[in-house]
Structure 1
């Protein structure tokens, strides 16, 4: 419990904009982090840190969103994709089952990650993540985060599309039959193009995660069957981090990655249509379309969906174009406002100069009389 309460990961990245307070926050964080590293094992810091981040960035916001949607449904439906159909069910028993499954997967995910980290630490005779009192440099954090998010996007897309939704993998297209062939041969090819394990995973994912054809709410993030859930959420998160083990991925960078991914997924599955920004707002819209139609939008960021033509309800490039157009309109508006402001300022200066010159002429005429 003392480790959970003293974990300073979030404070490290939420410092004030003023230089002196930022320096104090970094100093405080360094002292606290050094104490944690020297007094606890790397596995303890990893698992408790991941648990704290997921509880703070998924569990608490999900329960808050659920309370808002159920207590103020008339207000919530106005800011939800697809309106009232996106609201959580009002059945207490159904919500209890969903919450129980989500909490079970929450604990299972932590247990599986702890087991893998412990096993790999034993095999490698070294901790999976670099855990030292030395903090990672900003450019190292940026580089590793870029690699982690890239790996996660690739794994999420292919696992989600070809395993959890039963689409034939690209290599299996060779087994498809085109032309005149016997029905038995065609049936054999179709069977080979969709193995039994793939049909089972797709059926489980469809039964649990897509139990209702409507936009999701954040609690559904972890309300999937355990097997598809671990493939869909844990594997794309943990495997890219393992791939960076030879490069010395720092535990702080991994915890920051977990925090960003957890917050992203919580907002993307919230179902709200009022989320700001091209990234989060676009992901929430595409996620809502995926759950409502059970088609397309298999990736997290939508880049591979756009590349493969699997986007539903708009794609990420459309979001970028819209945002660029907004910026152009804003820039043109600011430029026009600046021009109008300049004209008004020039006019006021002219009036002031005219008044001053008029008073000067009047004063000279009075002296002459």
Structure 2
């Protein structure tokens, strides 16, 4: 618990910086908290406590809250689910208890596997698998590494999901287990199903695309924790089945995830839908390019881009006129 409370992000949210501190003091407070954490705990401990806290706060707790809403007020949940009543979880106490137990088991297995792999890799290479130091990553490095990690995750998620979890010819046993557990519920999913798969397909689908790119890139531990946090939040919202998820892009991800479950896994294998669009495996209403067009229209990108170009041209013309006026003035003198 002391490690969890000492995580910089937790300390930040419980500080008064949200109301009165300047940005510089926020950064100083964050750096001091992070330095204290790094100097007082081992890299492996920081990694494991960090990811466990992230998955608990951003997936397990919201999933149980969503499950409570779906079962206590089903009429409300039905009205905001993509496939209506078909998306509601069965109102069977024994079934729900088994689903929660399986999700908790997979969460524990995921943490144990990561612990063993990180410990083994650290021993093999003689240094922590993720850079753990008081020096924080520069913004450009953070953005670049996150972009690489998310790209690799999308690629691995798509091909693992399509060719291992939904291909009875290539991997009949894994495909059968995935359909038996993850796709036992017809209609749009609910967030608890994110972890309620058989352990083998669960680890292939949810753990490998996260950990493998990070282990290859070996970023700063803070970059890895941010990557896990954003991915976990995305997956929780995507599997919620709700049609009221904010944002066109995130709403599209949720809609495609619901279509994947409703179609018994006939398409929409990627997290974002880009590779589904490339390979023609999109199912349901709209694909990722439709979301991009909607997002562009929402923010009026064409109009703003045209205004920026026109403003640039006007600026160049004004500069030319000013230079000409200065030359005429100097010649007259």
TM-score (norm. length: structure 1): 0.78
Displacement after TM superposition at 1:321 (Å)? 1.5
Q: Which residue is 1:252 aligned to?
A: 222
Give the counterpart of 2:207 among 234, 250, 263.
234
Q: Which residue is 1:303 aligned to?
A: 274
Structure 1 residues 137, 17: closer, same or farther in 2, change over 3 A? farther
Deviations 1:203-258 (A, max 9, x none): 0000000012211000000000000000000000001101112xxx1000000000
SS at match of 1:157: helix
SS at match of 1:160: helix
Structure 1 residues 13, 243: closer, same or farther in 2, change over 3 A? farther
SS at match of 2:4: helix
Displacement after TM superposition at 1:10 (Å)? 5.2
Question: CA RMSD for the aligned pairs?
Answer: 2.1
1:1-369 alignment runs, 5 A limit: 1-9=1-9, 20-166=21-167, 194-195=169-170, 198-245=171-218, 249-294=219-264, 295-313=266-284, 314-328=286-300
Deviations 1:125-181 (A, max 9, x none): 0100000001111111100000000000000000000000016xxxxxxxxxxxxxx
Displacement after TM superposition at 1:279 (Å)? 1.9
Q: Which residue is 1:336 aligned to?
A: none
Contact 1:286/1:312 (8 A) holds in 2: yes
Q: How many residues align?
A: 301
SS at match of 2:272: coil
- Which region of structure 1 is more displaced relative to structure 2, 306-315 or 27-36? 27-36
Structure 1 residues 12, 126: closer, same or farther in 2, change over 3 A? farther
Structure 1 residues 5, 20: closer, same or farther in 2, change over 3 A? closer
Q: Which of the two has higher C-alpha Rg?
A: 1
Contact 1:11/1:25 (8 A) holds in 2: no
* CA distance in structure 2 between the aligned counterparts of 1:14 and 1:3, rounded to whole angstroms: 15
Displacement after TM superposition at 1:82 (Å)? 0.8
* CA distance in structure 2 between the aligned counterparts of 1:212 and 1:318, rounded to whole angstroms: 28
Unpaired runs of 5+ residues, structure 1, are: 168-193, 333-369
Displacement after TM superposition at 1:13 (Å)? 9.1
* CA distance in structure 2 between the aligned counterparts of 1:112 and 1:290, rounded to whole angstroms: 28
TM-score (norm. length: structure 2): 0.86
* CA distance in structure 1 between the aligned counterparts of 2:57 and 2:253, rounded to whole angstroms: 21
Structure 1 residues 42, 223: closer, same or farther in 2, change over 3 A? same
Displacement after TM superposition at 1:330 (Å)? 12
